[in-house]
Amino acid sequence: MTTIEAPNGATRCNTAWRAAALLLAAVLAPQVATAQDKGTLNPRPLPPLAKPDDPATAAKELFGRKTAPANLQTRTIGFYSKGCLAGAVALPINGATWQVMRLSRNRNWGHPNLVQFLERLAAQAPKTGWHGLLVGDMSQPRGGPMLTGHASHQVGLDADIWLTQMPNRELTREEREEMSATMIVAEDRLDVDPQVWTPAHLAVIRAAAKDPQVARIFVNAAIKKALCRDAGTDRGWLGKVQPWWGHDFHFHVRLVCPSDSGECTPQPPRPVDDGCGQELAYWFTDAVLHPRPSPAAKPKPGPMMADLPAACRQVLLAP
């Protein structure tokens, strides 16, 4: 994704990017809207599929029924929104400075690099004024498309971190399933809520962005606006932080492809600037803030196994 100010032809590409971004927003809107959906205290196994080998069966139906990781060499396969994960490890649901939310979703899995990053950031958080992390969705045990909630998070390198500090006690199971993160964005969508936004919000996002393993951080545009305004002279990390729809309550961290994963498709590099100029201004245009209603689209089943890298079939069928 490029800005108007980016070099090497970005100006010519920007109009096409904007159109594609608006189209993608329409596709993703039903998914990102579920980010604060409640979990359940009594999760039940999904019923068996009548025709699991049918090529017309959506990949999310297959990967969504896998409750344990594939017993294979650890590696990420494919792109963040079209891939899978072998040899996943789980982030423990409790740490000294983190707690996992929505346990019923069983989405606290990732590549070891992601688990280590979250543990590293959680240990650093109190030094920034952020008491501890509440960790939302990472990936499923074998990655892959999800039944609800995300188009990405498929290769074990994405994690949602709530913009709500961990309390100084262990949350109950009911709280983990039902409490909501704090809304950060003001009602008019033009800025953060000044009654909610604090220097600690900036500090924990900055700490995450400065980690060399981080490729991207996605936030609401109003949050990016506040980061740009409050960052001061230390601005090198801001370029990693990208505005995106649906991130009012959390920030989404995406890591770079691991060195052990030759089949991982990397995220295109960001422009070298801080992203606080015309790229950010675009998100506050009328077309973005008040998009025209579009006809209701028929729900799509999502990618099939044939749409994913061939190695994902091995991951799906592994013991």
**CA distance linking residue 170 with residue 67, whole number of Å:** 25
DSSP strand pairing (133-135 vs 98-100): parallel
278-311 confidence digits (pLDDT tens):
999 999 999 999 988 888 878 888 899 999 999 9
First to last CA, the chain: 38
The reported pTM is 0.89
- Minimal CA–CA distance to 254: which of 157, 133, 168? 157
Beta bridge partners of 82: 79
Q: What is the DSSP string of 135-192?
A: E---B-TT-S--SSS-SS--SS-EEEEESSPPPSSPPPHHHHHH--PPP-B-TTSSSB
Is 126 within 8 Å of 207 (Cβ atoms)? no
Task: Classify burial at 299, counting beta carbons within 10 Å of its beta carbon; exposed 0-12, middle 13-18, buried 19 or more.
Answer: exposed
Beta bridge partners of 84: 77
- Show pLDDT as tens, one digit a residue, over the chain (319 residues): 332 233 333 333 344 444 444 444 433 443 444 557 899 999 999 999 999 999 999 999 999 999 999 999 999 999 999 999 999 999 999 999 999 999 999 999 999 999 999 999 999 999 999 999 999 999 999 999 999 989 999 999 999 999 999 999 999 999 999 999 999 999 999 999 999 999 999 999 999 999 999 999 999 999 999 999 999 999 999 999 999 998 999 999 999 999 999 999 999 998 899 999 999 999 999 999 998 888 887 888 889 999 999 999 999 999 9
59-115 confidence digits (pLDDT tens):
999 999 999 999 999 999 999 999 999 999 999 999 999 999 999 999 999 999 999
